[in-house]
């Protein structure tokens, strides 16, 4: 949210504030310290946008917290893409922070991350282009007053950043309605004999993955309109632990849960279990194991630990323990009762049971299993 002077305004208390509200102070500090060239209608320079996402310390001592932990070059490519006339497609398996990065990019570039189209199997062309206020349409006929602009249309008119989440879940014919917008930077309004031309500063960020069911492949014509950046899973266990701990701490503050600082050991266990089952091999590389049907992403690890923090806060002593995360781990791993339960039991007996210092986790997982 922005104030009338174009600055970043602090948000009222909300369960899940938008990025531009939650990190308004950091965005203001970056804008004040940023003396580098800015593309048209950008709130920050590309350098400052990268600093906002990756973290750093400003000359005045303000610390910018990392929003994304990953290769710097990927972020630089994503930001530089938005500074051109090509749209950006963030691609990756579920849980690689595509939505998170998309939101923070939009917040830093245009100060507004809310111009969002959420892709589903039921997303219609009106959600991407425009719709109509049918009462006014019937009363007065087609007119600008009766037209209901989509987030994409609003971004074009205002020179902002539109976001399309889960692009591959949108039906193919609706996806292709973006081709003219991205190639010609115009949106025809045939009912009015007019068009909306994109103002300088307009661009679009889409996210997609090809691991979930119900995926619609992008046409080659549409894919050519995007510069694709593939977001990988965290390279190391330490990086993944850092991501989970930081995000759980942020969520915990908004939910009034205890700090996750005392639960690092359990966070590390959850991350270790997820990485080993995901990779099909133990961390030391000595034992091959079967992988379950689920993705076991970083996002799911965050969900498991957050749920564990809630259990610890409301039904324990506020300290995250093995019993608090065991049920969440079981629910994340065993998605297909027929096959995943066997995988989980084999992993428990062959790996967890024999691991030094994991007896409490083994017992908690055994008790959580029906």
Domain assignment present for 10: no
pLDDT at 9: 60
- Does 337 lie in the same domain as 259? yes
- Does 90 lie in the same domain as 47? yes
pLDDT at 93: 85
Q: From residue 154, how far is each of 117, 118, 306 by CA, in Å?
A: 12, 15, 36
pLDDT at 331: 94
Query: Are the C-beta atoms of residues 269 and 326 closer than 8 Å to each other?
Result: no
The 3-class SS string of 172-221 reads: HHHHCCHHHHHHHCEEEECCCCEEEECCCCCEEEEEECCCCCCCCCCCHH
Q: Helix 322-333 crosses helix 359-368 at what angle (to 10 degrees)?
A: 60
Structure tokens at 134: 């049918």
Domains of the chain: total: 2
- Does 247 lie in the same domain as 170? no
- Does 111 lie in the same domain as 138? yes
Q: What's the domain range around 267?
A: 237-368
> Residue written as tokens 């850092």?
242
Domain assignment present for 194: yes
Structure tokens at 314: 């409301």
Query: Are the C-beta atoms of residues 343 and 305 closer than 8 Å to each other?
Result: no
Which segments in the chain show pLDDT lower than 70?
1-12, 211-214
pLDDT at 67: 93
**Rounded to an integer, what distance in angstroms lies between the CA atom of residue 357 and that of residue 363?**
12
- Does 270 lie in the same domain as 221? no
Domain assignment present for 313: yes
| Residue where one domain finishes, among candidates 171, 205, 230 | 230
Rounded to 5°, the CA angle 87-119-163 comes to: 35
pLDDT at 257: 85
Domain assignment present for 14: no
- Does 186 lie in the same domain as 42? yes
- Does 244 lie in the same domain as 191? no
**Rounded to an integer, what distance in angstroms lies between the CA atom of residue 102 and that of residue 45?**
17
Structure tokens at 317: 């002593």
- Does 63 lie in the same domain as 132? yes
- Does 167 lie in the same domain as 103? yes
- Does 122 lie in the same domain as 33? yes
The tens digit of pLDDT for each residue in 16-66 reads 889 999 999 999 999 999 999 999 999 999 999 999 999 999 988 889 999
- Does 145 lie in the same domain as 27? yes
- Does 246 lie in the same domain as 110? no
Q: Write the Ramachandran bin of 63: left for phi over 0, alpha for psi from -120 to 50, otherwise beta.
A: beta
């Amino acid at each position: 949210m922005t104030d009338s002077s174009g600055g970043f305004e602090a948000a009222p208390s909300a369960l899940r504030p938008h990025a531009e509200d939650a990190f308004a102070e950091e965005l203001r500090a970056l804008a004040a310290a940023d003396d580098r060239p800015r593309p048209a209608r950008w709130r920050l320079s590309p350098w400052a946008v990268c600093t906002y996402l990756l973290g750093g310390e400003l000359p005045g001592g303000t610390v910018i917290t990392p929003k994304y932990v990953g290769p710097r070059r990927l972020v630089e490519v994503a930001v530089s893409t938005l500074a051109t006339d090509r749209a950006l497609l963030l691609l990756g398996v579920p849980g690689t922070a595509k939505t998170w990065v998309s939101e923070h990019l939009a917040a830093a570039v245009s100060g507004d991350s809310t111009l969002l189209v959420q892709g589903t199997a039921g997303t219609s062309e009106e959600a991407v282009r425009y719709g109509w206020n049918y009462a006014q349409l019937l009363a007065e006929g087609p007119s600008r007053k009766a037209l209901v602009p989509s987030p994409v249309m609003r971004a074009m008119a205002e020179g902002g950043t539109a976001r399309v989440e889960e692009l591959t879940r949108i039906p193919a014919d609706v996806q292709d309605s973006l081709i003219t917008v991205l190639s010609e930077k115009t949106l025809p309004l045939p009912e009015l004999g007019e068009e909306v031309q994109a103002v300088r500063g307009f661009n679009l960020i889409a996210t997609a993955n090809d691991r979930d069911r119900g995926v619609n492949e992008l046409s080659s014509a549409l894919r050519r309109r995007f510069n694709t950046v593939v977001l990988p899973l965290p390279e190391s266990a330490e990086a993944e632990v850092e991501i989970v701990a930081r995000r759980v701490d942020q969520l915990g503050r908004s939910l009034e849960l205890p700090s996750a600082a005392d639960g690092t050991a359990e966070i590390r266990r959850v991350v270790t279990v997820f990485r080993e089952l995901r990779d099909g091999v133990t961390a030391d590389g000595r034992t091959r194991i079967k992988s379950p049907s689920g993705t076991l992403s970083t996002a799911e690890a965050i969900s498991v630990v957050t749920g564990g923090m809630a259990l610890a806060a409301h039904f324990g002593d506020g300290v995250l323990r093995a019993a608090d995360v065991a049920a969440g781990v079981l629910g994340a791993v065993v998605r297909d009762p027929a096959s995943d339960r066997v995988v989980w039991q084999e992993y428990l007996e062959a790996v967890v049971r024999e691991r030094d210092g994991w007896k409490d986790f083994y017992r908690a997982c055994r008790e959580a299993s029906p």
